[in-house]
Structure 1
Amino acid sequence: MNTVRVSRIAEKKIKQGICILDGVDFQKQNLTNTVVKLVSEQGKFLGTAYLSQQNKGVGWLVSRAAIELNQTFFEDVLHQAKLKRQTFHDSEWTTAYRVFNQDGDGFGGLSIDLYNDYAVFSWYNPFVYSIKERIVDAFRVVYPEIQGAYEKIRFKGVDYDSAHLYGQEAPSTFTIFENGVAYKVFLNDGLMTGIFLDQHEVRASLVDGLATGKSLLNMFSYTAAFSVAAAMGGARQTTSVDLAKRSRELSQAHFDANGLEMDHHQLVVMDVFDYFKYAKRHGLYFDVIVLDPPSFARNKKQTFSVAKDYHKLIAQSLDILSPAGIIIASTNASNVSLERFKKEIEKGFVGVKHQYLANYRLPSDFVYNKNDESSNYLKVFTIQVQK
């Protein structure tokens, strides 16, 4: 095993419990896709890590102890992770959830989700991908009940992004349940599956009646899961807006899965900012507006960044929000802190009275590293305007 001597700054981060290895701290070494022993400038052992480039960081600290990343190691961390999700395992109301979440469960660069009796593995860097057989073998020991699995490649350098991994193949689309609501998912069609599982507590608030008797506008709607949750919770009317043409078909499948007629549910393929103008021009108002944009987006007209532009979404929402209306403001941008996100929100609300009704972070199945704020990437505020 190679030894890597780290700076005092990197040593401090490691001792704080931060597992992601920042590229700034590892510029003078050329090792990659390998397990290493980290030591301080004085040569003191700091932990076992691996180096491998991914979309954030250049590797992960795995343990402060000297360990081997063998099948026994993975069986142990997977077993501990399974115990933490026992309430989900026992639930009849929710059949899709995360069972392993990177450094929150003791091994960064890997996440695993369950959709009924099927698992979806996400590999975030080449090293984890290179030892996937070891990980899968361990998983099959801990989860013998799982019928089959798929993989998602979330780094560059492999010529496919999704594939069947082992066992029985799932139907091309099938129904899962979340908070008692049905959603249609697909496991082998690109990186997406038809639903973002980390939002299930926010959708639960809609199922439980946050939008009962109200009209809801769902911006950047993807497959309109928020809209379906609101409809099942008694929303009077929903409008879902997304620029992707396929969003209409995928959204329709969710509504159909719950036997919801589309008379009061509209699916709009349009740029969000164009729809704000359209709604204002036509005098449309909504009681609840959901804002859950990608961290960064670009179209022919403009670019959008949560860190710099989220306030524009708030400001334009206020133009079409009913008196005493509610905005659900959400982001999954790990590079935007809770404080920074709230400042962006407040910038959009300038001069308008409002109160925060609720806030959400990652749900309990998305176990995060409590020593690293960026690990708890989801930030959602439910805000009521006082007009």
Structure 2
Amino acid sequence: MKYFYIKAFASRRIQAGEKLLLLEDFEDSYDIEDAPEGMIIFIADREHHFKGQAVIGRQNKGFAWVFSLNHEDLWSKELFRLYLEEAIEHRQLLFNDPTTTGFRLFNGEGDGIGGLSIDWYDHFIQINWYSRGAYKYKDWWIENLLESTINVEGIYETKRFDLDSTEEAICHVTGKKASQPIIIKERERNYAVYLGEDWMTGIFFDQREVRQFVQEQAQGMSVLNLFSYTGAFSIAAGLGGASKTTSVDVANRSFDLTKENLSINDLKTNNDWNEIRIMDVFDYIDYAKRTSKDFDMVICDPPSFARTKKYVFSAITDYLNLAIDLFRITKPGGLCILSTNHSNYTKEKFIEDMNEAGRLSGKKVQLIQSFGLPDDYPTSEDPSSAYLKVLVYYCAE
């Protein structure tokens, strides 16, 4: 096995528990930049001390993933099986909970191998491949899943790397096909999920704890849910006794998907109780300010980057100004819940910006709680691994 040498700062990162290697981490990057996807390499420092094994898997955030610090480990179907068994064991509480039937089963580098994630949808599997290097070993993953102690009825996949014209990005792989939709339980909440149809399935499992918080706090509150997608937060608020929810998203699909989720939770679908607005979030905020419309709870979970006909939004550069308006349309005594999944927007910087937004809004706000990733999303020490940051502010006046 050929050794490739990494720079001192990269060596220190690997020793600290990081898994992601960038091309510029290598001493002679030209020597490895054309390495084939899925190639297994040994890495060492300048003094030729072994540092680990990695697999080449190019994706937006990196070049290769460290999977072992032991030179004797063999990259094999058996190694995948061991990592998968550990992941299943780590999630036994979820598997044994009859009120929750969907969660993250394997969280890439946090569970030992980067470049993919695996989600559990009530005995159906959704695999997300983030690099062709990870996808090269698809058969090992499929075989291990079907041979595991869990009862897998069918498997779907989404390829999130560059494809050629002959490749299909989203498809059913093997086993039974799921009903469309399949209803996923999350405590007493129900969500309609569509596997094999779109880049997103209808629910983001990483926000489970935040949805539970919303449900526990929403009694008697008017709730505004921005960038609402399928209305998952609105469902939580409605089941928690909100006086009214308003879901706002620019995508036309959100209307029917949100209405469907309201219906399967026995929540009213008329505008007096659960309003759905298909319009640009920023236009809705302008409307709320113009008409002095405010809310007891404001929830904002924007994409890291978004472009509409009138606006361009980047979380790192634009969230502060957005949050100023969000605080202003939150009633005194209300809650403002601000979320970002931008991996490069650190929690420290996010808190700093949101505190500044509170000051500039003229409101007296206090950070009372924060959320990160739930237990089924273990992370590595890579800064990009713990990507989710959710801040809950109390608006005193």
TM over 0.5: yes
Deviations 1:165-211 (A, max 9, x none): 11111112121101221110001112100011100000011222x11
Q: 2:295 aligns with which of 273, 278, 286?
A: 286
Q: Corresponding residue for 2:308?
A: 299
Aligned equivalents of 2:364, 2:149: Cα separation in 1: 51
Q: Corresponding residue for 1:199?
A: 207
Q: Corresponding residue for 2:352?
A: 343
Q: Corresponding residue for 1:169?
A: 177
Q: Corresponding residue for 1:262?
A: 269
1:62-101 paired onto structure 2 within 5 Å: 62-66=67-71, 67-101=73-107
With structure 2 as the length reference, what TM-score do the two structures score?
Answer: 0.94
Q: Corresponding residue for 2:36?
A: 32
Q: Corresponding residue for 1:222?
A: 229
Letter of the 1:25 counterpart? D
Deviations 1:274-312 (A, max 9, x none): 001111222321100001000011122221111111112
Considering only aligned residues, what root-mean-square deviation do their CA atoms show, in Å? 1.3
Residue 161 of structure 1 contacts residue 190 of structure 1 at CA under 8 Å; is this kept in 2?
Answer: no
Aligned equivalents of 1:110, 1:2: Cα separation in 2: 25
Q: Corresponding residue for 1:9?
A: 9
Residue 219 of structure 1 contacts residue 241 of structure 1 at CA under 8 Å; is this kept in 2?
Answer: yes
Letter of the 2:280 counterpart? D
User: Percent of counterpart pairs with the same letter?
Assistant: 37
Aligned equivalents of 2:325, 2:395: Cα separation in 1: 14
Q: 2:284 aligns with which of 268, 275, 280?
A: 275
- Deviation of 1:160 (Å): 2.3
Aligned equivalents of 2:332, 2:319: Cα separation in 1: 22
Letter of the 2:19 counterpart? C
- Deviation of 1:220 (Å): 0.5
Q: 1:183 aligns with which of 191, 195, 199?
A: 191
Residue 225 of structure 2 contacts residue 246 of structure 2 at CA under 8 Å; is this kept in 1?
Answer: yes
Aligned equivalents of 2:60, 2:158: Cα separation in 1: 14
How many residue pairs are counted as aligned between the two chains?
Answer: 385
Aligned equivalents of 1:135, 1:194: Cα separation in 2: 24
- Deviation of 1:24 (Å): 2.4
Aligned equivalents of 2:163, 2:182: Cα separation in 1: 30
Q: Corresponding residue for 1:243?
A: 250
Match of 2:21, SS state, is: coil
Gapped regions of structure 2 (runs ≥ 5)? none
Q: Which moved more, 1:80-89 or 1:139-148?
A: 139-148
Letter of the 2:113 counterpart? F
Q: 2:48 aligns with which of 15, 34, 43?
A: 43
Residue 307 of structure 1 contacts residue 344 of structure 1 at CA under 8 Å; is this kept in 2?
Answer: no
Aligned equivalents of 1:224, 1:342: Cα separation in 2: 26
Q: Corresponding residue for 2:389?
A: 379
- Deviation of 1:318 (Å): 2.5
1:145-160 paired onto structure 2 within 5 Å: 145-158=151-164, 159-160=167-168
Deviations 1:313-333 (A, max 9, x none): 211112322112110010111
Q: Corresponding residue for 1:365?
A: 376
